């Protein structure tokens, strides 16, 4: 009986196992989405649907200017001191799961209050969801090169 060459099968099995336990892929998705969502939320003032988060009241804008805070229009950008934006980061949730969130509970509370007032902000937009899919597709493609 002839022996079969199992090296290709062994290599394929190793690649599939690395995909199953791929911390590198999870970290790449998380760090990419962190940059994308931070820009969208805290700089562009867009929600998870890609629309403006909301509009600040005139009295609030006046208060910001009187107290020396940067004002770049009336669109809500969830940015006053920069503390919340700077605390927004990749947060390990388990050995195999990452999320985006805050290490400071007060900043997490502020994000929750903003979503209660303005609707879903911190979820991914359809374009960001597609970006996650593209990252995964590219990772798998490169894995099997």
The 3-state secondary structure of the chain reads CCCCCCHHHHHHHHHHHHHHCCHHHHHHHHHHHHHHHHHHHHHCCECCCCCECCECCHHHHHHHHHCCCCCCCCECCCCCCCHHHHHEEEEEEECCEEEEEECCHHHHHHHHHHHHHHCCCCCCCHHHHHHHHHHHHHHHHHHCC
66 against 21, higher pLDDT: 66
15 against 115, higher pLDDT: 115
- Averaged pLDDT score across all residues of the chain: 86
**What's the pLDDT score for residue 119?**
96
Q: pTM (2 decimals)? A: 0.80
* Residue 142: band (very low, low, confident or very high) from pLDDT cuts 50, 70, 90: confident
**pLDDT, tens digit, 9 for 90 and up, residues 73-103:** 899 998 888 999 999 999 988 877 888 999 9
**What's the pLDDT score for residue 3?**
45
**What's the pLDDT score for residue 2?**
44
**pLDDT, tens digit, 9 for 90 and up, residues 44-81:** 999 999 999 999 999 999 999 999 887 778 999 988 88
* Residue 111: band (very low, low, confident or very high) from pLDDT cuts 50, 70, 90: very high
CA dist 46 and 96 (Å) reads 29
* Residue 4: band (very low, low, confident or very high) from pLDDT cuts 50, 70, 90: very low
Asked whether the predicted pLDDT for residue 127 surpasses 80, the reply is yes
CA dist 43 and 82 (Å) reads 10
């Amino acid at each position: 009986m002839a022996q079969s060459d199992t090296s290709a099968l062994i290599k394929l099995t190793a690649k599939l196992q690395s995909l199953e336990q791929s911390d590198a892929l999870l970290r790449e998705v998380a760090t990419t989405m962190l940059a994308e969502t931070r820009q969208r939320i805290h700089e562009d003032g867009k929600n998870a649907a890609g629309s403006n988060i909301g509009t600040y009241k005139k009295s609030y804008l006046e208060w910001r200017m009187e107290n020396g805070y940067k004002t770049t229009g009336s669109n809500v950008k969830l940015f006053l001191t920069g503390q919340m934006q700077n605390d927004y980061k990749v947060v390990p949730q388990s050995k195999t799961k990452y999320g985006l969130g805050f290490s400071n509970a007060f900043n997490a509370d502020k994000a929750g209050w903003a979503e209660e007032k303005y609707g879903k902000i911190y979820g991914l937009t359809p374009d960001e969801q597609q970006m996650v899919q593209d990252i995964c597709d590219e990772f798998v493609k490169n894995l099997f090169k």
